């Protein structure tokens, strides 16, 4: 911030007027003094030079006839010019011929100098040759008082007096003019100060002139009116905001109460769920041990009857026993599938990098061992990787590839393909077959437990496999969906969001039976 920033407008205006006056006077004085001193310098040199020429002309005959008296008389005439301090005439040999010394004249040079003019201290020295018909008869030497500095000092004194008088007049005039300029400004400033201190925006500044300051007063009043209107609206908005804040606080308190109640209910439900899970685990244990034993007994005794008493049993009885064995085996498989479905929903995930292609090849190898004579083309892409639980991922592929194996059993040229599609950082795995397929109108039932789209007479199964796959995929944060047409095969897609794929690109590798 400059020093003037803290000054009042009156002080600034006064300073401007005085500074302008000083600047104008300085320029005028410097110009006039400079011109006068320059004119004085030139005229004084011209005067002395003319005097030296006159002395040379009048003293030329005296030099020619070696009449020193006449030359001395010519020099004595200079006593009527008090500013000439000394004068001398040298003959052609450079010897002092005649001289004149006024008060404070001083000494003469031993030899005359060349023509010229020079200033030495406060003396102006002029040297002029005396020439007659191209013959140098002698030299005139003049030394006069050079009063340029005294003249300058006098001008400075006069300038000081003039400047003091001008500043006094300018100060008096500016005081009168300031009232006309600053009074409207001070009126606006007073209103602004009162508005700031009292927050009273209904005040208005008085318009005291029709110039720019008057326009400023009008603009200031317009601004105050706008601020007053905005303040009223803001106050109304603040009241509305306060009401909304109060309502919001009441709502937040209600939400906190409901959250506390919800947390209490969640805790109660969690305890109930833990109790239910414990009961479910106990039930699964009971199913695993208590139900399997009677089923094994029924199946074993049925087999014993068929093998030990083949002749005592009629064909109809043997058919009944065969149906009993089939039913018990189906019941055992249902129990096993239910236990598997329960297992995939519990326990923590042991995720690691898994080669999906290797797992699929292991599943296909086991299926081939189960049906070594089956002719089927298998294509498993190479380079498929996922970050997943290896055990659960194998269970999912066993169900998907097993379904494809089962539903292509009636196809003339059965084919199964396991691959992966990449979209940026996401990888979608798929299992495709050209088997029985299904109608997409019933796709909503695919992943429900015990839901089947084909009868057990056509294809064996319990309807648990796809539900198990869906739970495995969901536990990995992914999703599963399908696309199919009746008698034209089906394809099942699934993602594993917890870690889909490695950067190497999958490649298709075909294996024919």
Tell me the two tokens of residue 157: 């004194």
| Percentage of the residues of the chain whose pLDDT score is greater than 70 | 79
Alpha-carbon distances, residue 144 vs 49, 253, 421 (angstroms): 11, 110, 115
Tell me the C-alpha distance between 91 and 129, whole Å. 10
Q: Are 383 and 506 in contact (CB under 8 A)?
A: yes
What is the C-alpha to C-alpha distance for residues 400 and 429, in angstroms, rounded to an integer?
11
3-state SS class at 203 = coil
Q: Quick one: pLDDT at residue 504? A: 44
Phi, psi of 169, rounded to the nearest 5 degrees: -65, -45
Q: In degrees rounded to 5, what are phi and psi of residue 134?
A: 65, 20
Measured CA to CA, the distance from residue 130 to residue 60 in angstroms comes to 7
Cβ pair 402, 461 in contact under 8 A: no
pLDDT single digits (tens) 55-80: 888 888 888 888 888 888 888 888 88
Q: How far apart are the C-alpha atoms of 191 and 220, rounded to whole Å?
A: 10
What pLDDT, in 10s, does the model give residues 257-292?
899 989 888 888 878 877 766 666 666 656 666 666
Helix and strand totals (H; E) in the chain? 9, 13
- Tens of pLDDT, residue by residue over 77-104, are 888 888 888 888 988 888 888 888 887 6
Cα dist from 231 to 201, 218, 224, 238, 241, whole Å: 9, 20, 10, 10, 15
Q: What is the mean pLDDT of the chain?
A: 79
Helix (H) or strand (E) segment spanning residue 479 = none
Question: Burial, 323: exposed, middle or buried (Cβ in 10 Å; 0-12, 13-18, 19+)?
Answer: exposed
Mean pLDDT on 401-423? 88
- In this structure, the number of other CB atoms found within 10 A of the CB of residue 14 comes to 19
Q: Cα–Cα distance between 326 and 306 in angstroms, integer?
A: 13
Q: Which of 7-16, 347-356, 395-404 has the lowest mean pLDDT?
A: 7-16
């Amino acid at each position: 911030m400059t020093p003037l920033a803290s000054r009042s407008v009156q002080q600034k205006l006064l300073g401007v007027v005085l500074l302008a006056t000083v600047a104008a006077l300085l320029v005028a004085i410097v110009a006039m003094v400079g011109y006068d001193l320059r004119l004085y310098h030139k005229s004084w040199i011209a005067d002395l030079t003319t005097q030296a020429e006159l002395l040379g002309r009048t003293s030329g005959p005296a030099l020619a006839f070696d009449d020193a008296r006449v030359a001395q008389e010519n020099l004595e005439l200079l006593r009527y010019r008090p500013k000439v301090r000394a004068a001398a005439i040298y003959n052609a040999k450079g010897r002092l011929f005649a001289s004149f010394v006024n008060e404070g004249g001083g000494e003469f040079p031993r030899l005359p100098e060349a023509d010229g003019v020079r200033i030495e201290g406060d003396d102006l020295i002029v040297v002029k040759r005396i020439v007659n018909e191209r013959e140098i008869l002698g030299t005139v030497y003049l030394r006069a008082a050079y009063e340029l500095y005294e003249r300058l000092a006098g001008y400075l004194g006069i300038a000081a007096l003039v400047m003091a008088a001008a500043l006094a007049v300018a100060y008096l005039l500016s005081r009168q003019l300031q009232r006309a300029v600053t009074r409207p400004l001070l009126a606006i400033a007073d209103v602004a100060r009162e508005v700031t201190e009292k927050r009273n925006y209904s005040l208005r500044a008085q318009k005291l002139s029709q110039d720019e300051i008057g326009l400023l007063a009008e603009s200031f009043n317009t601004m105050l009116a706008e601020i007053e209107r905005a303040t009223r609206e803001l106050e109304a908005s603040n009241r509305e905001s306060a009401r909304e804040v109060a309502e919001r606080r009441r709502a937040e308190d209600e939400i906190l109460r409901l959250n506390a109640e919800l947390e209490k209910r969640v805790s109660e439900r969690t305890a109930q769920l833990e109790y239910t899970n414990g009961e479910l685990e106990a039930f699964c244990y009971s199913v695993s041990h208590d139900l399997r034993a009677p089923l094994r007994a029924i199946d074993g005794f049925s087999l014993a009857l068929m093998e030990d008493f083949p002749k005592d049993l009629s064909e109809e009885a043997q058919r009944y026993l065969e149906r009993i064995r089939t039913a018990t085996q189906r019941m055992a498989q249902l129990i096993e599938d239910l236990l598997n479905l329960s297992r995939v929903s519990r326990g923590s995930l042991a995720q690691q990098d898994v080669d999906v292609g290797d797992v699929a090849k292991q599943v296909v190898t086991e299926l081939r061992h189960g049906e070594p004579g089956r002719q089927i083309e298998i294509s498993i892409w190479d380079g498929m990787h996922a970050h997943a639980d290896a055990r659960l991922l194998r269970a999912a592929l066993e169900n998907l590839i097993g379904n494809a194996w089962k539903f292509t059993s009636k196809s003339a040229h059965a084919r199964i393909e396991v691959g992966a599609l990449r979209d940026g950082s996401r990888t979608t795995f798929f299992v495709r077959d050209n088997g029985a397929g299904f109608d997409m109108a019933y796709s909503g039932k695919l992943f429900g437990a015990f839901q089947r789209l084909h009868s057990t007479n056509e294809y064996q199964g319990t309807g648990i496999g796809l539900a198990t796959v869906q739970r495995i995929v969901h536990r990995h944060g992914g999703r599963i969906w399908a696309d199919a047409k009746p008698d034209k095969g089906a394809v099942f897609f699934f993602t594993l969001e917890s870690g889909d794929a490695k950067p190497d690109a999958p490649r298709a590798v075909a294996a024919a039976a």
